[in-house]
Amino acid sequence: MNIREVEKSSFSVIGKEGLGKSQEADIWIPPLWQQATNAFDEIAHLVKQPLAVWGAMSDEARTFSAWSDGGLYLAGAEVENTTKTPENWTKWTFPSFRYLVVETATYEMHKVYSEIENFMAQQDLELVGAVQEHHSISAENPEELELWFPIERI
């Protein structure tokens, strides 16, 4: 497992938001991606380049705390923090964090969660927020993504 450390200052994502349970994520999250993809032309002019696509997660209070039994998910793209939110879209602005970033594939996400949990315990690190998904837009490897594990709020 290739792990790198990244500091990312505050950033914003505009997307389609949903609320659901962790164990039912395979049911309620794909429709959010479908909604965002189908209406992408509405926000394309707002999106930062190069395109950064995020599957963002937060607790229900929108404090970016980790899910317990479920929480909020935002399927969207990164925009400038000052971007105004278009009608029928949701914008989240993340605080600055230091992250451990792991490249993986969607079908290996559960394995990575287990491995990073062990790694963090060995390094005496704690998860301080919700894990974020940074998705590849590669036509060759559409299953590729990065999981961003927040380890310090900056």
User: Could you tell me the CATH number of the domain that includes residue 131?
Assistant: 3.20.80.10
Q: What is the pTM of this model?
A: 0.94
| pLDDT score recorded for residue 126 | 96
| pLDDT score recorded for residue 103 | 94
Q: How many domains are contained in the chain? A: 1
pLDDT in tens, the chain (154 residues): 899 999 999 999 999 999 999 999 999 999 999 999 999 999 999 999 999 999 999 999 999 999 989 999 999 999 999 999 999 999 999 999 999 999 999 889 889 999 999 999 999 999 999 999 999 776 677 778 999 999 999 9
Boundaries of domain holding 65: 3-153
Measured in residues, the chain has a length of 154
| pLDDT score recorded for residue 138 | 64
